[in-house]
Amino acid sequence: MRSSLTGLCLALLIPLSSSAAEPSFSEETVRQAVRSVEPVRKRSAKRWKAGPEYDHRYWIVVHASTKEQRTLLASMGLSIEEVQGDRVSGTAHAKDIALIKAKGFTVDEMVSLGDLAEKGFPAKDEAFHDYAEMTAVMKGLAAKNPGLVSMFSAGKAWQGRELWVLRFNSSASGAGPSSKPGVLFMGAHHAREHLSTEVPLMLAVHLAENRAKPEIKALLETRDIYIMPMVNPDGVEYDVETSQYRWQRKNMRVNPGGEIGVDLNRNYGYQWGGAGASDQPYSDTYHGPSAFSEPETQAIKKFVESRANIKTSVSYHSYGGLIFWPWSYSYDPIPNQEDLKVFKVVAGKMAALTGYVAEQSSELYASSGDTDDWMYSARGIFGFTFELEGGSFYPGAAAIGPAVKKNTAAALYLIGAAADLRAAAR
C-alpha cells in the first residue's frame, strides 16, 4: 500500500469542517507527511517463501439463519465477514469447508481467494499506508509536536517489527506514568483489514493538526491518549508485499505443521479456546497453542496492565458497519447492570455519529479470546470493537474519507467521555 497523506487527502472528496467532530488536514500537514514518507517508500525486499500463496483457502457463502449456527461455523474455522439474512459469507480453508459440509450446512458459493485477489497495487489503493509509511508518519507527528506527542514501541511482532504507539499527553511522554484518564485505540489485529489502520492513524493526524483549537486542546490537556494503528504488522506486510493481495488475516507465526498464523483476536486470555475459535492451525480463526501465546497479544497485555489509568479502548476492524461491546464469548449479557448501561449508551452515541449498528458482540456470533472480553474482564476497561464500513477488505481509497470523518467524530466523543463513562451514560 504505497501511500502518503497526499493520496489520502486527495481521496477525501467530502468537505470536512474544522470543528472537533470533523477532521481536517492542512496543506502543511500534507507536505510534512509527504516529506516524512518519501525516504522510506522503497519496499523491503524480504519475502515469506514457505507454502503456496493461498493454501487452499476460499471465499464461501453458507446458509445459517441463527447466531448459534454462525457460532458453530466460526468454531469450525470460517472467518465470518458478511451476514445477509440467512446467507453467511467469509473465508475458510478447504479442510474447514469439508467439515462444514459434513455438519450438514449448505455451501452455495465457493471461490478460490487466488481468483478473487487483485493483481498489483491499483491506483485506488495508493492512499493506504504500509508499515514503513505508517511508521514515517508517526515519527513525523512526534518530531513536529514535542511536549505533546511521543512515540515508542510496545513490543515486537513475530518477525521482529516494532509495535509502534503514539502517545498524546501534555505532561508525560513515552512510558511515563500519568493520572489522566487514558484511552487506547488499536488497528489491524487482522492483516487484510487495512482501513482499520487508516482510521486510528488519521485520528492521530487530526489531533496533532488541531491541537490549538479550544475543543481539541481541552482534550489533549486532560487525557492520556494512546494510538497503535497496526497490531499485526507482519501480517499486513505479507498481505501487500507481492503483486497479489493474499487475504491474510492472522499473524505470521510458523506453526509446527508449517501452517502460518494465529488469529490475534482469538488469542486473548479470557475464555480462550471456547466458542467461535478453531483449534486447527490452518483455520483463519485458529486461536493459537495457548492464551497470549503470541508476541503481539503479549505486548498489548503488558502495555495495558502497566497503565491502570486506561478507562476505555477501541479495536478497529473491517468490515460491516457495527459497534460491539462484551460479551463476545457468551450470548448472555454482562452481569453488572450499571456497566451494561454504559456499554449500551456510549456505543449508541457512537453509532449515532457513525451510522453504524451497536449491539453486543455475540449477537452476530459468539467468539472467544477476543480483545474486548479480556479488556473488560481482566482490567475493567470499557472495550469496544468497531467493524468499519467499505463493503470489502480492499474497498479502495474512496472508503477512507467517509470512514475517517465519522470515526474521528466517534473517537473524539469517547475521549471526552473517558473521564467518567458512567456519568456519560446517565
pLDDT, tens only, 158-176: 999 999 999 999 999 998 9
Q: What pLDDT sits at residue 39?
A: 32
Instruction: Name the grid cell of 284.
Output: 483463519
Q: What pLDDT sits at residue 393?
A: 84
> Cβ-count burial of 157 within 10 angstroms (0-12 exposed, 13-18 middle, 19+ buried)?
buried
- CA 269 to CA 374: how far, in whole Å? 6
Known active-site residue 387: yes
- CA 13 to CA 195: how far, in whole Å? 17
- CA 176 to CA 193: how far, in whole Å? 31
Amino acid at 85: G
HSE (side-chain half, CA atoms, 13 Å) at 282: 15
Structurally, at CATH architecture level, domain 5-48+123-246+269-424 sits in: 3-Layer(aba) Sandwich (3.40)
Give the residue extent of every domain in the chain.
5-48+123-246+269-424, 59-111
Q: How far is CA 183 from CA 59, 173, 344, in A?
A: 36, 15, 18
Three-state DSSP class for residue 77: coil
Kindly name the residue from 126, 209, 296, 387 that is annotated as catalytic: 387
Question: Could you read off the pLDDT of 78-127 as tens digits, one per residue?
Answer: 989 889 899 998 888 988 899 999 999 999 888 887 666 554 345 557 78
- CA 28 to CA 32: how far, in whole Å? 6
What 3 state SS string does 331-392 have? CCCCCCHHHHHHHHHHHHHHHHHHCCEEEEHHHCCCCCCCHHHHHHHHHCCEEEEEEECCCC
Q: What pLDDT sits at residue 283?
A: 96
- CA 398 to CA 323: how far, in whole Å? 21
Q: How far is CA 388 from CA 98, 134, 316, 322, in A?
A: 30, 19, 7, 7
Q: What pLDDT sits at residue 47?
A: 29
Q: What pLDDT sits at residue 36?
A: 36
Q: How far is CA 397 from CA 5, 8, 246, 388, in A?
A: 12, 7, 19, 14
Its pTM surpasses 0.75: yes
Q: What pLDDT sits at residue 113?
A: 76
pLDDT tens-place values along the chain, 426 residues long: 433 343 333 333 223 333 334 444 444 443 343 333 333 322 222 322 333 445 688 889 999 999 999 999 988 889 898 898 999 988 889 888 999 999 999 998 888 876 665 543 455 577 899 999 999 999 999 999 999 999 999 999 999 999 999 999 999 999 899 999 999 999 999 999 999 999 999 999 999 999 999 999 999 999 999 999 999 999 999 998 876 788 899 999 999 999 999 999 999 999 999 999 999 999 999 999 999 999 999 999 999 999 999 999 999 999 899 999 999 999 999 999 999 999 999 999 999 999 999 999 999 999 999 999 999 999 999 999 999 998 888 888 889 999 999 999 999 999 999 999 999 998
Going by their DSSP bridges, the two strands 224-228 and 162-168 should be labelled as antiparallel
- CA 27 to CA 10: how far, in whole Å? 11
DSSP 88-149: EEEEEEHHHHHHHHHTT--EEEEEEHHHHPPBS--GGGTTS--HHHHHHHHHHHHHHSTTTE
Q: Quick check: 183 and 315 in contact, CB under 8 A?
A: no
Question: Could you read off the pLDDT of 387-424 as tens digits, one per residue?
Answer: 999 888 888 888 999 999 999 999 999 999 999 999 99
Longest distance between any two alpha carbons in the chain, whole Å: 61
Give CA 270 to chain center in angstroms.
19
Site of grid cell 441463527: 66
